[in-house]
């Protein structure tokens, strides 16, 4: 319900959405729908964690990160 305490969903940016999905899947997270691409900007998806929380993942495309 919309008037319940807590968050309905939360969104995180990740460097590699495929790797993140693989790691989280081993811990019980399930992909909701499919990974989609928004223009040439982002790859996006939702997962549902073991406690039922809906979590969004976003990978920005075209960005080189240094480690």
The answer to whether the CB of 32 falls within 8 A of the CB of 46 is: yes
User: Please, which residues have CB within 8 angstroms of residue 9's CB and are 6 or more apart in sequence?
Assistant: 46, 53, 54, 55, 56
Q: Please, what are the domains in the chain?
A: 9-60 (3.10.180.10)
Distance from chain centroid for Cα 10:
9
Which is it for strands 30-38 and 54-60: parallel, antiparallel or unpaired? Answer: unpaired
Query: Could you tell me the pTM of the whole model?
Result: 0.78
Phi/psi at 64 (5° precision) = -95, 130
* 63 vs 15: CA distance, rounded Å: 9
The pLDDT tens digits along the chain (67 residues) read 556 666 677 899 999 999 999 999 999 999 999 999 999 999 999 999 877 888 999 999 986 555 4
């Amino acid at each position: 319900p919309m008037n319940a305490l807590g968050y309905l969903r939360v969104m995180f940016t990740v460097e590699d959405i495929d790797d993140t999905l693989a790691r989280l899947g081993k811990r019980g997270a399930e992909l909701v729908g499919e990974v989609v691409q928004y223009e040439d900007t982002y790859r996006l998806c939702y997962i549902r964690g073991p406690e039922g929380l809906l979590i969004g993942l976003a990978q920005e495309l075209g960005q080189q990160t240094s480690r």
